[in-house]
Amino acid sequence: MQRLFSTFANGWPGIGLLLQRFLTSMALIHWGIHYWRQAQRFALVAPHMVGAAAGILLLVGLWTPVVGTLIAVVEILIALSSAGDPWTSVPLATLGATLAMIGPGAWSIDARLFGRKQMQIPER
């Protein structure tokens, strides 16, 4: 993951990425619950469930490039099929793709797991 991003955005850009992750994940979870309650056929609900699961991972910032790409692909499939409103899926696909390209930011599990570590040199 560290090879994908030279740094994890901190400060105001990091807050912006946190808000973008939060907004995208809340929308994905909302639509996943909405379509799950109205489950008529599994084929119509499955893409939304995948999106909701990806939204949970995105919320905490875990595997953000992979999850963002998955969100973009799933939302494009939803937009092209009759499984949901295409005008909701297009912005969600765009947000997923941008998060995959930009990264999770400093306030994420990815930054804690894969960010640069500061070495502590013991005093003599």
pLDDT bin (cut points 50, 70, 90) of residue 3 is low
Closest listed residue to residue 70, CA positions, set 88, 50, 85: 50
Number of independent structural domains in the chain: 1
Q: Which domain holds residue 32?
A: 24-113
In a domain? residue 109:
yes
In a domain? residue 8:
no
Write the pLDDT tens digit of every residue in 64-88.
999 999 999 999 999 998 756 788 8
In a domain? residue 5:
no
In a domain? residue 121:
no
Quote the CA–CA distance of 45 and 43 in Å, as a whole number: 6
pTM exceeding 0.85: no
In a domain? residue 14:
no
pLDDT for position 2: 46
In a domain? residue 83:
yes
Diameter of the chain measured on Cα atoms: 69
In a domain? residue 4:
no
What single string gives the DSSP state of each residue in the chain? -TTT-SS---HHHHHHHHHHHHHHHHHHHHHHHHHHHT-S-HHHHHHHHHHHHHHHHHHHTSSHHHHHHHHHHHHHHHHHSSSS-HHHHHHHHHHHHHHHHH---SSSHHHHHHSPPPPPPPP-
In a domain? residue 19:
no
Interaxial angle between packed helices 64-80 and 86-102, expressed in degrees from 0 to 180 and rounded to the nearest 10:
160
Write the pLDDT tens digit of every residue in 38-50.
877 777 788 999 9
